Chains A and B, each alone.
Chain A
Amino acid sequence: MVRPRALENTRVVDFSWVRAGPWATRWLGALGAEIIKIEWPENERGRLPSSTTPQNLEVNLNTSGNFNDTNVNKKSVCLNVRSAKGLEIVKRLIAVSDIVIENFSSRVLRSWGLGYDELCKIKPDIVYVSMSGYGHTGRNHHYTTFGPVAQSVAGLTYLSGLPDQPPAGWGWSYMDDTGGMYGAMCALTGLYHRNMTGQGQHIDLSQMVSSVPLNGPALLDFTVNGRGSRRSGYPPGNRAHWPGTPLVNNYRGPTVAPHNAYRTDPGGYNDWCAIVCHSDEEWQRLAQVMGGPSWATSAKFATVAGRLAHQEELDERIEEWTLTLGKYELTERCQAAGVRALPVQSAEDRVEHDPQLRHREMYLEMEHPALGRHKVQNVPFKLSETPAENYLPSPLIGQHTQEIVEGLLGYSRDELRAGFADGTFWPTKRARFPYMEEMLQ
């Protein structure tokens, strides 16, 4: 029996590019919506530049590995929306769609004549999600972001690092991932509301603004207690508290020790294990796992106050032990005894060595016409009646132009050919991919 998908019969016009917007529509696609990605090769950002093309392939619009993982479950239509004819076609598409989503700068869609008021004339109950850097409202709406800039301006970067050192920050665009999550969350919320009331709306999402609520407790510590994060001992690295500085909660959880990452055997770049004890009882269990060394039974480590006060020595002693074991064996021994421990995992570790992710089928292979067969990141939740899954590899650029223009919108083959000839469906001076020639047969 073929299971239904949660968003069956939902159509999304997807103008998004780079990462945050495509990460949003990736999930709507996995949930069963038809995602129609509107692209134009002359100002494409997301396929190129590519730093994830396999070494044995030519870098071109269809060979970015990261684009493939970010754009599964979508169709691609090439359309010059800046031409009158292209705009007319995209309006016909919007008229038969439920959601419009984009992550351009704040005035771009309006400048094309596709602002929210115009969208409503085309489709009165449209759900329009704009995902700009600073939002469409507010004096800095014209500012631009990439993930790292949003993270810096909104206070997230500052929360990551060792005291008295520059911020370590986030080693990737956390707010492209998370901004994408909010894009999908807003689209789903707007869709639910439309189904219940018949009313669409414009949801004005901002990557920078959506970062700020992720600092909630730190912000309340300031607005309520007047205590800022710019203070001695903060941020405390991987610890809950930095020795020798005032005892203040660090917004990650309880203030406890041990609470750190420790080197493990054989001492390679990612050979680390995180260990945390939330209580004296958990500490006693850790001491047992370590073989009950005499130092661990010392009275100064018996209470959380003592372990915090002697954290430098505690961490050194624990690391002497962790260096004798591999990170996975360490994890298993600790967890078997009821001690909180997990390995630091690289991407290779997650894909190849993590038994839980393997059991949960987090990385399943998919065939892509240009890239071949590779593992793609799966969905982190299981819906019992409408399972979300990856069912299409990422589209080749313009792969579905014919399917959508002829099949969905009812244009003729001659009109398709004319559109290719006049630069509506592909730049006239740019070499076409073979699959485009096939469309014109």
Chain B
Amino acid sequence: MTDAAPPPGPLTGLRILELADETGQFCGKLLGDLGADVVKIEPPGGEHCRQIGPFLDDIPHPERSLSFWYYNTSKRGITLDLGTVDGGELFRRVAATADVIVETFRPGFLASLGLDYQTLSEQNPRLILCALTPFGQTGPWRDYLSSDLLHMAAGGEMASSGYDTADVPNAPPIAPGGGNAWHMGCHFAYMAIMAALVHRTVSGQGQYIDASIHEACALTTESAIANYVYRGETLLRQTGRHHAPAPTPRTQFRAKDGAYVTALVAGRLNPRYIGELADLLDTNGMAGDLRDPKYQDPAFITANTSHIIDDLVAGFIASLPAEEVYHAAQERGFTWGAVRAPEALIDDPHLHDRGFWKEVEHPELDRSFVYPGEAAIYNGSPWRISRRAPLIGEHNVEIFRGELGLSAGELCVLAESRVI
């Protein structure tokens, strides 16, 4: 990137304290990449999710977790044991400078240290504190343990995802991968924090937010709840396509190169569409009988849906590599796509046109690495990664000495007694 001084991000000027494990670190990343000064507070020795792989060159080390790297961009980092008297006091002092605190401790933990919202907001009434926890601060499951897989089970994601019996007999419900329970929780937490910040621009007052990952997951299954509430339906799991109350035609087809293509055809079949489909399939001489005038009759189309989809569309896709099908179809107005492994995105010219991939410097390694960038382009105040994830306690001196005025000697004593 050559642009010398890009304009500041939309959240510039905000100070965020993040005390979050793998469940909430993505929320801090969103705030940081959008311009806020996010200070991550880790326990001495570093947050435990630094132990989650994959690791740089497969060498496990708390400074080499790629998962930690990814979810902690655009943050500074300090260490602090909140359970000590000195640690609690230092936290109170940092909290006095904060606009927002994001925390993922188990319910009641901060209160047990006398660091609850009530106490912290007395010295800082503009403070917004978002507690993001697996089940929220109240209720019978409040203290239950969780994991990404467990949330995908209870949230309803698994009940909707899996295989046709014909494809994989006796398949279990499948939890989609990638750690998306945490994403779902963090998206809603981010939204709640921004709403509180907008309100504060008018009222001047902060507030407390109790956000639940289970509820966020339970809200992220599209029409499943409506199917039940309005029609009493339970939905079937189907290979590579929507859950449905009764089996629907398939939408995922194997291409010549072994990759798959998502081709939404059923529900769109009418004489005009058949003509366009024939043109597309003809680009590789695969239109079959689609030009036959009998397809002008909608009833004939309906009676031959299986032939159109399972013979003609499937045959066309099987005759070309998935990427070729994808672009040929989209250029002709078909909403189809190649099922890509994530690494295929690196070469996507559209993403390059949008400046999506970002070189992030890792000065301690004297290397830089390519990171995925932003979901949206802001034309007035850019969303962009400002720096790599912090090393453990990297900004202890900058913040404890530079901002809070501790002496060099005091900092050493705090380190020796493992307060920082």
Query: Which of the residues A54, A135, A363 comes within 8 Å of B377, measured between beta carbons?
Result: A135
Interface window among A107-115, A249-257, A425-433 = A249-257
Given contacts A156-B176, A171-B161, A171-B237, contact A386 B337 (CB under 8 A): no
Do A158 and B339 have beta carbons less than 8 Å apart? yes
Residues from chain A with Cβ under 8 Å of B161 in the complex: 160, 168-171
> A190 CA to B11 CA in the complex, in Å?
9
Chain B residues contacting A203 (CB-CB under 8 Å) are 376-379
Within 8 Å by CB of A148, from B138, B184, B262, B369, lies: B262
Residues of B within 8 A of A4 (CB): 199, 203
**Contacts A205-B375, A341-B150 hold; do A168 and B228 have CB atoms under 8 A apart?**
no
Residue B391, interface by CB 8 Å: no
Q: B228 touching A346 by the CB < 8 A rule?
A: yes
Least CB separation from B170: chain A residue: A263
- In the complex, A276→B378 CA distance in Å? 40
Does B107 interact with chain A (Cβ within 8 Å)?
no
Q: B9 — nearest CB in chain A belongs to which residue?
A: A193
Give, as a whole number of angstroms, the nearest-CB distance from B387 to chain A: 16
> Is A66's CB under 8 angstroms from B341's CB?
no
Are B51 and A254 neighbours in the complex by a CB distance under 8 Å?
yes
Interface flag for A317 (CB, 8 Å): no
Query: B231 to A224, Cβ gap below 8 A?
Result: no
Contact indicator per residue, chain A 183-223, by CB within 8 Å of chain B (1) or not (0): 01110111111011101111111100110111111111111
Q: Which residues of B contact A217 (CB under 8 A)?
A: 54, 66-67, 70, 178-179
Across the interface, A274 reaches (CB within 8 A) one of B158, B201, B221, B345, namely B158
Among B173, B226, B371, contact of A270 (Cβ-Cβ < 8 Å): B173
Residue B303 CB within 8 A of the other chain: no
> How distant is the Cα of A52 from the Cα of B376 in the complex, in angstroms?
32
The count of residues in chain B whose C-beta lies closer than 8 Å to any C-beta of chain A is 151
Chain A 114-169 residues near chain B, CB threshold 8 A: 116, 134-135, 137-141, 143-162, 165-169
Q: Is the CB of A272 within 8 A of B153?
A: yes
Q: With A140-B330, A219-B345 in contact, do A170 and B208 touch (Cβ < 8 Å)? A: no
The B contact surface, by secondary structure, is mixed
Do A212 and B147 have beta carbons less than 8 Å apart?
no
Given contacts A157-B240, A209-B375, contact A340 B209 (CB under 8 A): no
B222 at the interface (CB under 8 A from A): yes
Question: Could you tell me if A347 and B159 are in contact, using CB atoms closer than 8 angstroms?
Answer: yes
Q: Does B47 contact A (CB under 8 A)?
A: no
A225 contacts B354, CB within 8 Å? no
Contact between chains at B172 and A201 (CB < 8 Å): no
Cβ contact within 8 Å between B241 and A169: yes
- On chain B, the residues within 8 Å of A418 by CB distance are none
Write out, one digit per residue, whether chain B residues 139-177 have a CB within 8 A of any chain A CB (1) or not (0): 111101111111111111111111100011001111111
Contacts of B198 in A (CB 8 A): 6-7, 10, 188, 191-192, 195
Within 8 A of B (CB), among A323-351: 335, 338-351
Does B313 reach chain A (CB closer than 8 Å)? no
Q: Is the CB of A221 within 8 A of B66?
A: yes
Closest to B135 in A: A356
Least CB separation from B333: chain A residue = A144
Residue B63 lies at the interface, judged by CB distance under 8 Å to chain A? no
- Given A229-B342, A347-B235, A381 and B225 contact (CB-CB distance below 8 Å): no
Contact between chains at A210 and B375 (CB < 8 Å): yes
Cβ-defined contact, A342 with B150, below 8 A: yes
Given A219-B372, A348-B228, also A252-B252 (CB < 8 A): no
Q: Contacts A139-B350, A213-B375, A377-B219; is A355 near B140 (CB within 8 Å)?
A: yes
Annotate A343-376 by CB proximity to B: 1 below 8 A, 0 otherwise: 1111111110011110110110000000100110
Q: Counting CB contacts under 8 A, is A182 at the interface?
A: yes
Chain A's nearest CB lies how many Å from the CB of B365?
10
The list of the 4 closest CB pairs from A to B, nearest first, reads A65-B230, A201-B380, A380-B215, A171-B160
Q: List 17 A-B contacts (CB under 8 A).
A: A6-B195, A6-B199, A51-B227, A116-B379, A135-B376, A148-B264, A161-B174, A169-B240, A170-B176, A173-B242, A202-B378, A220-B69, A254-B52, A261-B153, A350-B155, A357-B215, A381-B212
